[in-house]
Amino acid sequence: MVRLRQPKPRHRAVILWLLAAALVPLVACRRAAPTAKLFDPSQVAFSATYNPLFDSQLYPSMILATTSTSQPPAETFTATLTSPADNAVLRIVIDSSSLNYVTIFQEILPRRGQTYTFQPSIKWKYDQLRSLRQPRTIDLTFTCYINDEEVDIKNLHLNCRSVNECPLSLLYQGRTTDFRYLFAAYVNEDHPQIEQILADILAQGTVSRFSGYQNGPESVRRQVFSIWYYILNRGIAYSSITCTSNPSPRANVQHIRFFDEVWETRQANCVDACVFFASILRKIGLKPVIFVEPCHAYLGYYTDKNRRHLELLETTITAWVNFPDIERNLRDDGLLDDAQFLKISKYLDDKDIERYHNHQLDIDALKLAVARNLFSKATDYDRETYQANLAHFADTASITYQRLDIEQLRQSVQPIN
């Protein structure tokens, strides 16, 4: 009987090390063996593109305004590919970024050799879009899978604009597309600050309640005047800031302040003032209209629910006087110095001026008289130009003249809030 000698422990360790070293190349070769691709990327010809109309500019205002509607402003992202097999399962994965979540789009491609085009909807981070007040860049990565096999990857590099930036019109290949209807997105009747504003207006005593169209046209005018008087007391000044840093030479855009920005900064241009005023009108059940002309916008509102009569209002006239500044310069005797009184006396009739000098018109009555006079001027200010441009407003193909009925636009444009 032959006995096998057991290797010594030191020899056993050497043998095990040699065996392991011999197996490593085999494992490595096994892992490095390439997996055969079933689908040729060149035949699939996958592409992911952004609508060239937007010139690589992404507008959060447009996304937020149309995200819950059935009528998007334009097809923004497009994926195109040729099916490499019958009934192939397509899956497009859009990676997450600072402004969007991972998005998965899946479809069946029935016929081999057929080219298919899709418009995938991206899952945006809406809170991030709403808070975006400065431009930034964003990279969106689209990965194409066919039957769970990764076929191709495309990347889009875009400039994301501030949410305050509203496109007015975009030019592409000699054709201009109008987007002024997005002004309606800045009208925000749901803003929580409006409830406090309405309470403050009632405290002024210019109106006892807000009843919408329940009590006739005169009641409507009184309600609108009460809002007008509040804005005068708030001291909202005119500010012509409209420019943006948008680098696209084909984009006509405007910076629009949101409701809370107008209220807090007490500044507004013609569009800012229109959307601010219209937000409150919408809240109390009235029907505002914004009229857009070249380089200007003014407000209109119906005095009856059946839309038979329209009143106009030049909202920038609220900046003609500054009530808070006037009150700060009130003397101990309850009168203003000559320079301050001169600023507002042109908005008073002779009888009111006489009553004021006879101490029969205190500061509150003085402000109310000025406010009524300015309200009358604001009502008549745009009447002539409105009548002259009725045909332009009626022309649905017109880009420079727009009649933006906020109630009607709510079907396709929601507030950015």
Identify the pLDDT of residue 74: 57
pTM: 0.86
Domain 41-160: give its CATH architecture.
Sandwich (2.60)
CA 56 from centroid of its chain's CA atoms = 18
31 or 101: which carries more pLDDT confidence?
A: 101
pLDDT of residue 396: 84
Q: What is the mean pLDDT of residues 340-362?
A: 89
Residues of the chain with CATH 2.60.40: 41-160
In DSSP notation, 260-295 reads: HHHHHH-EE-HHHHHHHHHHHHHHTT--EEEEEETT
Q: Could you tell me the CA-to-CA distances from 89 to 82, 145, 146, 370 in Å, in that order?
A: 12, 8, 6, 71
Judged by average pLDDT, the poorest of 27-36, 165-174, 198-207, 362-371 is 27-36
| DSSP run (H or E) holding 387 | helix 383-388
Give the pLDDT band (50/70/90) at residue 385: very high
Q: How far is CA 26 from the centre of its chain?
A: 60
Residues 314 and 380: their CA atoms lie apart, in Å, by 8
Q: How confident is the model at residue 247 (pLDDT cuts 50, 70, 90)?
A: confident
Looking at 70-74, 184-188, 373-377, which range is the least confident one?
A: 70-74
- Cα of first residue to Cα of last residue in the chain, in angstroms, is 94
pLDDT category of residue 241 using cuts at 50, 70 and 90: low
Residues 6 or more apart from 94 whose CB is under 8 A from it?
A: 100, 102, 103, 104, 105, 120, 122, 140, 141, 142, 143
Q: Which pLDDT score, from 0 to 100, does residue 324 have?
A: 92
Residue 37's contacts (CB-CB under 8 Å, 6 or more residues apart) are 149
Alpha-carbon gap, residue 220 to 393, rounded angstroms: 24
* pLDDT value for 337: 83
- List Cβ neighbours of 60 (8 Å cut-off, separation of 6 or more): 129, 130, 132, 160, 161, 162, 163
Overall average pLDDT of the 324-344 stretch: 86
- Greatest mean pLDDT range, 26-35, 71-80, 140-149, 324-333: 140-149
- Asked whether 221 and 310 are in contact (CB, 8 A), the reply is no
In this structure, of 21-30, 63-72, 400-409, the range with the lowest mean pLDDT score is 21-30
Measured between alpha carbons, how far is 171 from 301 in angstroms, rounded to an integer?
A: 32
What pLDDT does residue 11 have?
A: 53
Find the mean pLDDT for residues 274-282: 98
> What is the structure's pLDDT at 4?
40
Long-range contacts of 405-410 (CB under 8 A, 24+ apart): 405/287, 405/289, 406/184, 406/187, 406/278, 406/282, 406/287, 406/288, 406/289, 406/290, 407/282, 407/287, 409/181, 409/184, 410/184
Question: Per-residue pLDDT tens for 254-270?
Answer: 999 999 999 999 999 99
* pLDDT at 111 > cutoff 70: yes
For residue 70, what pLDDT band results from cuts at 50, 70 and 90?
A: low
Model confidence at 243, in pLDDT bands (50, 70, 90)?
A: low
Confidence of residue 26 (pLDDT cuts 50, 70, 90): very low
Looking up tokens 């002259």 gives 388
272, 281 in Cβ contact below 8 A?
A: no
Residue 111 CB contacts under 8 Å (≥ 6 apart), including other chains? 83, 86
| pLDDT of residue 35 exceeding 70 | no
Average pLDDT (230-241) is: 89
Residue 341 is given by DSSP the state H
- Quickly count: other Cβ atoms within 10 Å of residue 30's Cβ: 8
For the chain, the average pLDDT equals 89
- Please determine, for residue 109, whether its predicted confidence score (pLDDT) is greater than 90: yes
Q: Strand pairing of 267-268 and 237-238? A: parallel
- With CA atoms as reference, report the closest residue to 272 among 376, 385, 390, 188: 188
